[in-house]
């Protein structure tokens, strides 16, 4: 009986494959620049092809020195057991000398950032409103599930990959423990536009911080604009700086990605904007949980959208102050 139980466990929870460094050198053409897919918080990612013909993405982590106290293999194994259809779990890893590499299944439609901002899609629209709504909901579901186990800590468009059916697969969750940020990395993260004010101040990763980052991601998904835009050589603008005034004025059409040429885009995506704004509230305790975010995104009733829109959060504070001032002025007259 014990033997059968163990066999069943092996079938449902397979150990991650341990790759040799030689094997991954061969797969990625010695980490050739032409194979490079991108650069992330924890290291560079390369396209590779294994000897069996399968395509993989290999993440080569940054220098591992002074991190010997962390058991890399054990941590990877623990994190890889967190399974959800919209999470991209590790397929295997390499642990040789100072090299630490993670191997994932290759996602043919690359990342959300590639589809929204990549040169290959400049001037065209690779994601229609239906695809964007699906990506928003499925990503929220993955994060809500993840919060039962661990904080993601680095929610951003480059960490949402898209499979052959444009289903989102969230990656790089929980690896902050494996790769603690140095001062330079912390500074870079603080200025990427996704990090919540309290996370910038404390350097700590929290569930509420993930919610804030997801809110920025929603606004990016709807608008097609980056979290931080450079207006000129000296001026940058955060996405909330220009979205919030438009939301206060109910000018949702001006928030929408101009590459979307469909009918009723504003009607379809307005809810994503409202939920996004709720997620990026400055005070962490006022933000919804990821489970509440999922519930709001999935509720399609017009009454619920009207209820969301009536939230005091969406009232223009400047207009409220002006109305109060006008009332006082009338009373004095």
- The confidence band for 3, taking pLDDT boundaries of 50, 70 and 90, is very low
Q: Is the pLDDT of residue 269 over 80?
A: yes
Cβ pair 252, 243 in contact under 8 A: no
85 labeled part of a ligand binding site: no
* pTM of the complete model beyond 0.95: no
- Domains in the chain: boundaries: 18-105, 112-319
pLDDT in tens, 211-239: 999 999 999 999 999 999 988 888 899 99
The alpha carbon dihedral of 102, 108, 109, 110 has a sign of: positive
What CA–CA distance (Å, rounded) separates 231 from 229? 6
What CA–CA distance (Å, rounded) separates 170 from 54? 21
172 is catalytic: no
Both tokens assigned to 106: 């290759």
Q: Is the pLDDT of residue 121 over 80?
A: no
Q: What is the mean pLDDT of the chain?
A: 84
What CA–CA distance (Å, rounded) separates 199 from 176? 13
- The confidence band for 8, taking pLDDT boundaries of 50, 70 and 90, is very low
Mean pLDDT, residues 189-194:
76
Q: Is the pLDDT of residue 97 over 80?
A: yes
Mean pLDDT, residues 23-44:
90
pLDDT in tens, 105-119: 999 999 999 999 986
Same fold, 18-105 and 112-319: no
Residue 94: strand pairing partners: 101
In 3D space, the residue among 118, 103, 87, 84 whose CA is nearest the CA of residue 43 turns out to be: 103
- The confidence band for 251, taking pLDDT boundaries of 50, 70 and 90, is very high
What CA–CA distance (Å, rounded) separates 168 from 114? 13
What CA–CA distance (Å, rounded) separates 40 from 173? 13
CATH number of 112-319: 1.10.510.10
Catalytic residue (choose from 34, 95, 105, 154): 154
Class level of CATH domain 18-105: alpha beta
Q: Is the pLDDT of residue 320 over 80?
A: no
pLDDT attached to residue 119:
63
Beta strands in 155-251 (DSSP E): 160-162, 168-170, 228-230, 236-238
């Amino acid at each position: 009986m014990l033997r059968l139980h163990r066999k069943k466990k092996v079938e449902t929870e397979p150990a991650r494959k341990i790759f040799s460094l030689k094997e991954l050198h061969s797969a990625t053409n010695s980490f050739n620049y032409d194979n490079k897919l991108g650069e992330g918080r924890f290291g560079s990612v390369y396209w590779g092809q294994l000897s069996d013909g399968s395509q993989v993405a290999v993440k080569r982590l940054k220098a591992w020195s002074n991190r010997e106290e962390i058991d890399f293999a054990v941590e990877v194994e623990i994190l890889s057991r967190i399974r959800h259809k919209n999470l991209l779990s590790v397929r295997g890893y390499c642990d040789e000398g100072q090299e630490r590499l993670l191997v994932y299944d290759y996602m043919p439609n690359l990342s959300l950032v590639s589809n929204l901002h990549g040169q290959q899609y400049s001037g065209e629209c690779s994601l229609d409103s239906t695809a964007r709504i699906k990506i928003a909901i499925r990503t929220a579901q993955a994060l809500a599930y993840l919060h039962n186990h661990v904080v993601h800590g680095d929610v951003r468009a480059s960490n949402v990959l898209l499979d052959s059916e444009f289903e989102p697969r969230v990656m790089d969750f929980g690896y902050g423990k494996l790769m603690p940020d140095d001062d330079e990395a912390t500074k870079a993260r603080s200025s990427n536009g996704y990090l919540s004010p309290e996370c910038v101040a404390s350097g700590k990763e929290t569930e509420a911080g993930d919610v804030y980052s997801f809110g920025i991601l929603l606004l990016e998904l709807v608008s097609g604009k980056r979290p931080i835009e450079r207006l000129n050589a000296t001026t940058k603008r955060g996405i909330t700086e220009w979205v919030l005034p438009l939301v206060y004025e109910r000018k949702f059409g001006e928030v929408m990605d101009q590459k979307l040429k469909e009918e009723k885009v504003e009607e379809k995506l307005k809810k994503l904007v409202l939920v996004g704004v709720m997620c990026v509230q400055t005070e962490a305790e006022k933000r919804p949980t990821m489970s509440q975010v999922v519930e709001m995104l999935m509720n399609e009733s017009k009454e619920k959208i009207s209820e969301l829109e009536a939230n005091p959060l969406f009232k223009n504070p400047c207009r409220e102050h002006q109305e109060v001032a006008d009332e006082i002025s009338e009373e004095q007259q």
